[in-house]
Structure 1
Amino acid sequence: MVFRLRQDKNSPVLQNHIATIENILSMLDVNPSEARAHTMESYRWAFRWGSVEVDVNIMERGSRAFFQVTAPIIYLPDSQRENLLYGILELNLEMTSAAMGVYRDVIYVFSERPIEGMDAEEARFIITQVAHYADELDHRLVQDFGGRLYHPQP
């Protein structure tokens, strides 16, 4: 994996961003303690938003820290892949502060940016944009192109 936490976990800058994310989650009626799912690669929070699972991550790549929000929405269907991929490219042009991509045969709504210079308002906007788009598009894409909704493996 290309992401790895290198900063001191007690770094005031890192702790400030973690506190900001947890405050935002609280404002969105998500319990940060229950959502917390930190790994060796990132500080991570996972929660449900409507019909989707949303992941919020703070991680490092090289010497820079990044803020990433992802929401897996559907598995690629066996048929109509070309039509689906063309469709998500068109939808990408309509989306603000988020995009769709494919990783391991799953379509994700995602946003990523360097954490430097990001304030709480922007972080909240990105989290809610990704969550809203994912919840809005998952059933629509399955209905229009086939496939099946994403469900995490136990």
Structure 2
Amino acid sequence: MFPIMTIHTHGGDVSLTIPGCVMAFASSGLWPLAAIIFLTAVVVPLLKMAALAQMVRTHGGSARVLRRLTKFYRLIEMSGRWSVVNILTVASIAGLIKFGLLSPVTAEAGAAFFGAVVVLITLAVLSFDPRSMWDADNFGDDVSTTQSYRK
């Protein structure tokens, strides 16, 4: 795992990964910031990837399951707008540094990779067509027969 930031202190430099950042902020008494980082950087991306993988694997099935997955897709698509929370987190950290509440911080390679993962997950969700789960062939309908009735 690549470090996402390096904190410069009088005792030396400390490179931290995302879990390390969460633990560092929590141990410094900044529990709200630690919780925001944990949710936006760990929980939300993992849930999005798991849900998208489940939707890609699902082709057909009961209408109830498909309706539930379609609603879940809409929730995931809407949550993509909340990816801006990561930017808010960075702005909060910058503000804390500016007011002297934290030591100076330098972004590392992990920050760029994390940003790329956020963008790629967002693009994957946006490129997924939830109608593919509702493929007519999976319900035993013949597409050519259905199309011939429409003529």
Higher RCO, 1 vs 2 (CA within 8 Å, ≥6 residues apart)? 2
With normalisation by structure 2, the TM-score equals 0.32
Which structure: larger Rg? Answer: 2
TM-score, scaled relative to structure 1: 0.32
Which structure is higher in helix share?
Answer: 2
